[in-house]
Amino acid sequence: MKVLIVGGVAGGASAAARLRRLDEHAEIILFERGRYISFANCGLPYYIGGAITQEAALTLQTPASFRSRFHVDVRVENEVTAIDRVNKRVTVRNHTTGEDYEESYDRLILSPGAEPVRPPIPGIENPRVFTLRTIPDTLKIKAYLDEKKPRRAAVIGGGYIGVEMAENLRQAGLEVCIIEMASHVIAPLDEDMAADVHHYLRSQGIQLRLGSGLNAVSDQGDSLRLELTDGAVEADLAVLSVGVRPDTELAKVCGLECSPRGAIRVNSRMQTSDPDIYAVGDAVLIRDFVSGQEGYIPLAGPANKQGRIAADQICGLPSEYKGTQGSSVLKIFGMTVAMTGLNERAAKAAGLDYGKTYNYSASHASYYPGGGMISLKTIYEKPTGRILGAQLFGPDGTEKRCDVMAVAIRAGMTASDLAELELCYAPPYSSAKDPVNFAGYVIENVLTGKVKEFYWHDVDSLPRDGSVTLLDVRTDAEHARGRIEGFRSIPLDSLRDRLDELDPSKPVYVHCHSGLRSYLACRILTGNGFDCWNLAGGYRLYESVVSDRAVQDHPCYER
């Protein structure tokens, strides 16, 4: 059997290695148009920022080491330019010699990956406008920083790579501004969870220009002028990070079925519309594991799994890809952003009957030094309590909780299952009741009617005409530091003694800092005949979102 693989990195290299492990005698040829077959895409920003100091550390396998270990014919700087599906042959351009040649195949695996989007904006080809996708891209940016010593950087786009680049450019000593067309950074986050990220980025010296698109780039001699939809900024260099698109021209030209946005359609066995051609990685259309809908989620983990599955299928093993749930994690200075499954927008778009809860829990026992608070938003299905998605922001240990939620989603677990999980506990690592357990408790309480919740986006529409009671059960000191208009203060520990101050015929909307004390207040009030609603996420979340909306950032480097 002769198998050709187009493209290395995650999907193609994984497929090649798995094929060899399964079939010692197969002829395997891997074509890579660049110089690197297996490198750490996700590590590239950290080489620029200095956390990774050796260029060699970015290369996971060299052509020679891959050839030696797996007996794979690795041909770097060889680009497949055409596929003849009828005769099962490909045309290859050797970029070293300039020659074209052909190779036949029994099976073909396409792993061309994705390419950075470069919108047709005037001036976008300026040499001081960089993209980051490959090792050569990384070396080019690093060389510019070392040689030119720029002072100001603009990052166009606030996705994963954009935020990582902003952090690492800041670590390299530059002033950094993120320019993002959407209302918040990191698109998979919901607005309320992104607000915490915005506040933290600003606290680390990253400026944000949100809701602003790039119209043009012009050279100003020693600097660039970026014309935006809401003004203009100047910077010494710009990094374009507005997303990627599947690099699938080869597949389209040979007639493989693709989505309207160019991703290759595959079945659960990673077969394309041609059963002898497989496709994996950032080039393929996936099915969302939770909603069942088609989507495009370019991540390294799924690419590796898909490469393995394609190899299994070629060798007769019944592996199938069951869908992508979008589990991802992002380091931002000393904090972590992590997410898995559906966000609120996706759950709504899928037509699911969903609920949401917010928890604000200690990363480990509060009496053990060095901890912090983890903000956790959970999306769940009504009335079953099945976990649909989670978004988290916090210090060390945040990614661990997201991994638990990812497993819960994959296993079809419910809120009751989260409440029953027995997770590791020691004071340096967690509390006896883990944040994941708390998420289960809260959802159970809602679904069983022990508490009713209202949300930060409901607060401003609550009547202030006396028809309802608005109650703040934080301490007097907390209330004095910041409050929601119209909410009267009765601290939780005084509530039982002051029930006669409240009208039991009126609904009570209550909040505390995080939602825990107000839940206790609701149980007291409900037990005494009141109709009580608890503010999910508490004052902390409300204030975070409202103050984020109100911030008018400094206009970066406008001159």
Q: Which residues are catalytic?
A: 42
Distance of CA 482 to the CA centre of its chain: 32
Region of 281 please: left (phi>0), alpha (psi -120 to 50) or beta.
left
Distance, CA of 308 to CA of 206 (rounded, Å): 40
Q: Which helix (H) or strand (E) segment is 74 a member of?
A: strand 73-76
Q: Look up residue 93 and give its two tokens.
A: 């351009």
User: For residue 5, which of 45, 37, 46, 41 has the smallest C-alpha distance?
Assistant: 37
156 φ, ψ (degrees, to nearest 5): -90, 105
Q: 41: which 2 tokens? A: 């895409």
Instruction: Report the C-alpha gap between 274 and 86 in whole angstroms.
Output: 10
> What's the chain's length in residues?
559
Closest Cα to residue 237, out of 161, 156, 137?
156
Tokens 């890579």, located at residue:
32
Go through 73-105 and write b for each residue having 16 or more CB atoms within 10 A of its CB, e for each that does not.
bbbbebbbeebebeebbbebbeeeeeeeeebeb
Q: Within 13 Å of residue 552, how many CA atoms lie on the same side as its CB? A: 1
Pair 540, 360: CB distance under 8 Å: yes
Produce one character per residue of 233-244: b if its CB has 16 or more CB atoms within 10 Å, e if not: bbbbbbbbbbbb
What is the rounded CA–CA span in Å between residue 121 and residue 216?
6
Q: Are 365 and 430 in contact (CB under 8 A)?
A: yes
Please confirm whether the linkage preceding 383 is cis (ω < 30° from 0). yes
